[in-house]
Amino acid sequence: MFYFHHINCISPQKTFSEIDLEHINTPVGDKLLSVEPAYEGIPLNILRRMGKAVRMGVGAALKITRQNPDGIIIGTANGGMEDCIKFLNQVIDYNEGMLTPTNFVQSTTNAIASQIGLMSANKGYNCTHVHRGLAFENALLDTAMLLRENHGHQYLLGGIDEISAYNYNIEFLEGCFKKEKITGIDLYKTNTAGTIAGEGSVMFLANNNPAGASGKLIALRMLHCYDENDVAEELKKFIRSHFPVSEQPDVFFSGENGDNRLQKYYDACEQAFNKETAVVHFKHVSGEYATVSAFAAWLACHVLQTQKLPMHFLKYAHSKNHFKNILVYNNYRGLQHSFMLISAS
Amino acid sequence: MEREALKAQLKTQIIQFLNLMQVKPEDIRDDEPLFGEGLGLDSIDSIELIVLLNREYGIDIKDPKEGRKVLVDVNTMADYIEAHRTK
Amino acid sequence: MSRIFVTGLGIITAVGHSVEANRDSLSKEISGITKAQFLSTKYTASLPFGEVKISTDELKNKLNACEKGVTRTSLLALHALAEAISSSKLNTDELRAQETALIGADTVGGMCLTDELHHDANTREQGSEYLASYDCGSVTLYLQSKYDIKGISNTINTACSSSANAIMYGARLIHHGLAKRAIVGGCDSLAKFTVNGFNALHILSDEPCRPFDENRKGLNLGEGAAFLVLEREEDITNKHVYAELSGYCNSNDAFHPSSLSENGDGPFLAMKGALESAKLSNGEIDYINAHGTGTENNDEVESRAMMRLFGDVPLFASTKAYTGHTLGAAGAVEAVYSILSLVHGEVYPGINFEKAIPSTGLKPVTAYQKKKLYHVMSNSFGFGGNCSSLIFSRV
């Protein structure tokens, strides 16, 4: 498919200018909020208007835009929701009277991609994919197609979602979050419904050039399915189509999130691997959100580059000391599933 | 309200309403252009300031183009408020 | 590369609940811009809208779609999707096949339910039935579940060009062998939220909109949905083909979040790119279904961009004076209209036009005419500078 370069990640952990995944931040209540950088590259005049999703998106993208990408492709399920509800609250509070438009303009999910385009005067392809748990995967697919159509081009590709007060409230009412306090990997030991809320912004420069790449996206598969056995079958087919019969991926990134209603999917998929494959879980550091697969892709590239995998990520003790490829499985709400196969470049 | 106090209040309101970062009321000169150079506001800000005039001072400006004639600098805004405020 | 043909159409707008009904209204210059009956906003007293003339409850009953949490946006989409599937004669196996993609687009999602959203976003009491229905993706997910569609699915939101991009994405999936057929389109419903948003920007007109007219005062918001079925030429046997999707392009104006640049680089590049992808010269475009919202900014910039690209601008008109600006649905709605023009060899006039914009002198088509058309361009330019252009060709 293509190569990842120049990856930037704003997340609840120290992942932006310096990366430290040994000492991890733990949830505050049931939320893992991002560690936001100082956003030095964003002029104050523009920063003042931005809601968190837009500033995280722009913040992670800015340096990459200096590579003059040929287009911008973003996946976000709820980008701009905070501004959306702020505007909605104005509508109600002022009974549809005179309202300030900034919140409305910033509330559209394409505000992130368009702001990045605006600030970098980028007139190329610009698209925002909003298909909930597969928003980032569709952004990946769009990018892969663009790079086949335009072999020498490069694209800014990203996945971003925020915990806005309002989004969080809606999901809280849906019963998405843990009631008990979570401090880290105890997330996976709870056997109760719910998970912890997360947010993040991950931006990549994607092209067909292996030199200096952080990782390579080998394959991607998306599924809509409620049956965990069907998902596991598809995973086995995916593995067979990319590995010789005697081989398996070095690492399996499981998107398990501690929600016991969804554990059956992850358990079924884990069965596809033998003891040779290290099993990693990561949502105790990222939290759960619709475009968390972007964080997973970042983490995969980071692990492949540094060849370091801190212990708290490992679901089972493992002695593997060299990683050539990582298979990521994630699902959102038990309906939207994806497999990503990422290898060292 | 006394004019100097009005201008001081207006500057604070402009900063809060437009979320101007790292700008203090004393940084804004009374005759500093709000748009173009000076404070460098844009068309969306002009709409926001019209809303500010409505919410804080009960002034109704229906046409944004008319509004730009009022929104030249803090002085012209203060003049207009003194002449037209209903709050 | 395979040629992509349109084998199915479905549409619902303020001027009709079917392809035939829409065509009838366009041909007879009957506008659907009226006082809204179902939309709940104080602005129904002062602003006209392109409201689909059926209540949400009637839609639910007509479509047998009374599931918990279903929204007006989803119902409009379902209505149009059903017609498209029927017109393309897709059977259940084909719909469920892994090679059938569904690409939707919308900007409103479930935000048409303003009061419920306000409650669910702000209070900790019992949530409404719409908790999972607010985001844009919820609409496509609903359609997927109704038809058990298992292939690649996606939702795109690029403001007013959303469904044009959905059409493009579906076509590209087919070109890349990732789908054999793609059902593509978009929808949006009128919402208090959007009405107030556009009103806050002072771009709504209190009269029926006048695209490209010197005295235009702004746009009218509308609602609707439209879907197309795209298939590869080699896969089509014994099936009616409406038109070919022969070219497309997406580019960005990169100037301002809610208005186009004076030069109209975004529109210009989108149109130019579409011509290049269709391998057509300027002179081969017979008609342009313009974005033409009726706002001061769009119509002047769009005119200039057309003049810049074409020199001698082809016949053009905007159909938004019939339907209003249907936002996420606009690209697909106007794609259907462009295709109808090709199929029936007719040009629908731009209504409410009297006098050209002085700086351009451009006049849209103002009377219905029969004319054999070979290539029609359809343009959609949105907030965030998202500009898309599609070209459909006669088969």
**Cβ contact, residue pair C259, B64, below 8 Å:** no
Q: Where residue B66 falls among pLDDT bands split at 50, 70, 90?
A: confident
CA atoms of A190 and A182, how far apart (whole Å): 9
What is the residue-wise DSSP string for A150-182?
STT-EEEEEEEE---HHHHHHHHHTT-B-SS--
Per-residue model confidence as pLDDT tens digits over C181-222: 999 999 999 999 999 999 999 999 999 999 999 999 999 999
CA atoms within 13 A on the CB side of C39: 31
pLDDT of residue C311: 96
Collapse the DSSP code of C154 into the 3-class scheme (helix H, G, I; strand E, B; otherwise coil) and give the result. strand
Angle among Cα A219, A223, A226 to the nearest 5 degrees reads: 145
Whether C154 and A73 have beta carbons less than 8 Å apart is answered as no
Which residue on chain A is closest to B15 by alpha carbon? A48
C387 three-state secondary structure? strand
pLDDT of residue C38: 97
Burial track A88-120 (b if 16+ CB lie within 10 A, e otherwise): bebbbeeebebbbbbbbbbbbbbbbbbbbbbbb
Q: How far is A301 from C362, CA to CA, in rounded Å?
A: 54
For residue B37, the model assigns a pLDDT of 79
What is the token pair recorded at A44?
Answer: 């104050």
Q: Which pLDDT score, from 0 to 100, does residue C263 have?
A: 86
Buried b / exposed e over C265-286, threshold 16 CB at 10 Å, is: bbbbbbbbbbbebbebeeeebb
What letters, b where the CB count within 10 A reaches 16 and e where it falls short, cover A293-307?
bbbbbbbbbbbbbee
Contacts of C202 in chain B (CB under 8 A): 47, 63-64
Q: What is the DSSP letter of C158?
A: B
pLDDT value of residue A249: 96
Statement: residue B1 has pLDDT above 80 = no
Of A89, A109, A145, the CB nearest to C172: A145
Q: Which of A100, A104, A107, A108 to mutate to test the interface with B (most CBs of B within 10 A)?
A: A100
Residue of C201, C256, C257 with shortest CB distance to B47: C201
Q: Is it the case that residue C106 has pLDDT exceeding 80?
A: yes
**Residues in chain B whose beta carbon is closer than 8 A to a beta carbon of chain A?**
17-22, 40, 44, 47-48, 50-51, 54-55, 60
Using CB atoms, list chains with 3+ pairs below 8 Å to chain A.
B, C
b or e along C107-141 (b: 16 or more beta carbons within 10 Å of the residue's beta carbon)?
bbbbbbbbebbbbbbbeeeebbebbbbbbbbbbbb
Nearest to C127 among A105, A125, A173 (CB): A173
Record: contact A48-B55, CB cut-off 8 A: no
Task: Tell me: pLDDT of C27 over 90.
Answer: yes
C263 compared with C157, residue with greater pLDDT: C157
**Which amino acid type is present at position C300?**
E
pTM reported for the whole predicted model:
0.96
What pLDDT is recorded for position C258? 84
The chains found to touch B (3+ Cβ pairs under 8 angstroms) are A, C
Q: Is C136 a catalytic residue?
A: no
pLDDT tens-digit series, residues C137-188: 999 999 999 999 999 999 999 999 999 999 999 999 999 999 999 999 999 9
pLDDT class of B22 with cuts at 50, 70, 90: confident
Tell me if chain C has a CB within 8 Å of the CB of B44: yes
From the list A95, A111, A132, the residue facing C384 with the nearest CB is A111
Catalytic-residue membership of C175: no
* Per annotation, catalytic residue among C17, C79, C291, C375: C291
Report CB contact under 8 Å: A45, B22: no
> pLDDT class for C374, splitting at 50, 70, 90?
very high
Complex prediction ipTM: 0.97
Inform me whether the pLDDT recorded for C384 exceeds 90.
no
What does residue B54 show for φ and ψ, rounded to 5 degrees? -70, -45
- Mean pLDDT over C62-81 rounds to 97
- Give Cβ neighbours of residue C57 (< 8 Å, ≥ 6 apart): none
Triad C77, A336, C82: Cα angle to 5°: 20
Average pLDDT, chain B: 91
Going by the DSSP 8-state scheme, the letter that residue C345 receives in this structure is T
Give the per-residue pLDDT at C314: 98
Token readout for A139 is 């952004």
pLDDT band at residue C260 using 50, 70 and 90 as cut-offs: confident
C47: distance to nearest CA of chain B, Å?
15
- For residue C172, what pLDDT is reported? 98
| B73 contacts: CB under 8 Å, gap ≥ 6 | B29, B30, B31, B32, B33, B34, B38
Task: Give residue A40's pLDDT.
Answer: 87
Q: Which of A6, A10, A57, A61 is nearest to A37 (CA)?
A: A10
Inspect the interface and report whether the beta carbons of B43 and C200 lie closer than 8 Å. Answer: no
Active-site option among C160, C209, C249, C387: C160
Nearest to A48 among B21, B47, B51 (CB): B21
User: Does the pLDDT of residue C275 top 80, yes or no?
Assistant: yes
Q: Where are the alpha helices (DSSP H) in A38-80?
A: 44-47, 52-65
Give the Cα separation of C213 and C220 in Å (integer).
Answer: 14
Measure A321 CA to nearest chain C CA, in Å.
36
A286 touches chain C (CB under 8 A): no
- For residue A235, what pLDDT is reported? 98
Residue A313 has a pLDDT of: 97
Interface test with chain B among C46, C201, C202, by most B beta carbons within 10 Å: C202
Minimal C-alpha gap between B48 and chain C (Å) = 9
Whether chain B has a CB inside 8 Å of the CB on C202: the answer is yes
Please name the residue of chain A whose CA is at the shortest distance from the CA of residue B48: A100
Can you give the pLDDT at residue B62? 83
Active-site residue flag, C209: no
pLDDT at A345: 87
Residue ranges of chain A with per-residue pLDDT less than 50: none
pLDDT, averaged across chain C: 96
